[in-house]
Amino acid sequence: MKTEGGSDAAKRRAGESAADLVVDGDVVGLGTGSTAAHAIRALGREVDAGLDVHGVPTSFDARRLAREAGVPLLALDEAMDAGGIDLAIDGADQVADGDLVKGGGAAHAREKVVDAAAARFVVVADPSKEADALSHPVPVELLPDALPTVEAALRAAGGEPALRTAERKDGPVVTDNGNLVVDCDFGRIDSPEALARTLSATPGVVEHGLFVALADEVHVGTADGVRVREL
Ligand SMILES: O=C[C@H](O)[C@H](O)[C@H](O)COP(=O)(O)O
């Protein structure tokens, strides 16, 4: 069972607080996961009330939710042609010093493209995600054929990789991009930047879930409000 800090109410406060930042005419990156979902639903309500906004989804799931909520969508190329992404709102599995681990929903590859392209990237989280240092296993999306070589490289880098499997499917999780994910436990990550460089340089790695110095602010929903931290 989740603690009070990880409650859905805290996630909702964070998501709604970030959605409040959106202004008329904005193009918004729509993150994936249970916290970003609250921001998407809040945007849908604002669209109903007359807000002119377009979303750029970061996953199949975010796209489906945005369509249900009535948020008009743009493909990434359309958004870039139209002047770019003003704001991205996205969740995180862990936040420390403004660096993030993402990819609990295996959406981190597209999330990183959209979040990094945004003029302003706002992270939404509940207190259970906050830490002094990153230590959450790092999701690594990889080409299926490269599984043995990537696993070997991750072990050589000091990690313990575990192929992600689905609860209700035999076999591994397959991402929206047709790839596999391993969750790699590195223990406490003292230098996220150095580890990010190592992972990015590994052949067969499509993208990893370390988001280093990408976020501009963090909205943490609490039991009775929202804590906003600018980075
Ligand atoms: O791939 C999924 C994402 O990176 C999510 O944003 C992350 O896992 C946080 O999800 P949640 O808000 O459900 O904890």
Q: What is the C-alpha separation between 22 and 74, in angstroms, rounded?
A: 16
Average pLDDT value for residue range 112-121: 98
Please tell me the predicted confidence (pLDDT) of residue 5. 41
Assess whether pLDDT exceeds 80 at residue 51. Answer: yes
Least confident of 2-16, 24-38, 49-63, 64-78: 2-16
Instruction: Output the residue whose Cα is nearest ligand 1's atom 10.
Output: 33
Q: What is the pLDDT of residue 6?
A: 66
What pTM was computed for the model?
0.96
The answer to whether the beta carbons of residues 48 and 127 sit under 8 Å apart is no
Q: Is domain 138-209 in CATH 3.30.70.260, yes or no?
A: yes
Mutation pick for ligand 1 pocket among 3, 13, 32, 58 (CB with most ligand atoms within 8 Å)? 32
pLDDT band with cut points at 50, 70 and 90 for residue 103: very high
What is the overall mean pLDDT for the chain? 96
Q: Which residue has the tokens 């790699």?
A: 184
Ligand 1 mean position, distance from CA 208 (Å): 14
Q: What is the mean pLDDT of residues 165-187?
A: 96
CATH of domain 4-130+213-230: 3.40.50.1360
Whole-number pLDDT of residue 157: 98
For residue 91, the ligand 1 atom closest to its alpha carbon is 6
CA of 54 to the centre of ligand 1 (A): 21
pLDDT in tens, 73-83: 999 999 999 99
* Residue extents of the structural domains in the chain: 4-130+213-230, 138-209
pLDDT tens string 120-168: 999 999 999 999 999 999 999 999 999 999 999 999 999 999 999 999 9
ipTM: 0.99
The residue whose CA is least distant from atom 8 of ligand 1 is: 104
CA–CA separation, 228 vs 95, rounded Å? 13
With a Cβ cut-off of 6 Å, ligand 1 is lined by 31-36, 90-93, 102-108, 111
- Which residues are annotated as catalytic? 111
Residues 10-20 have a mean pLDDT of 98
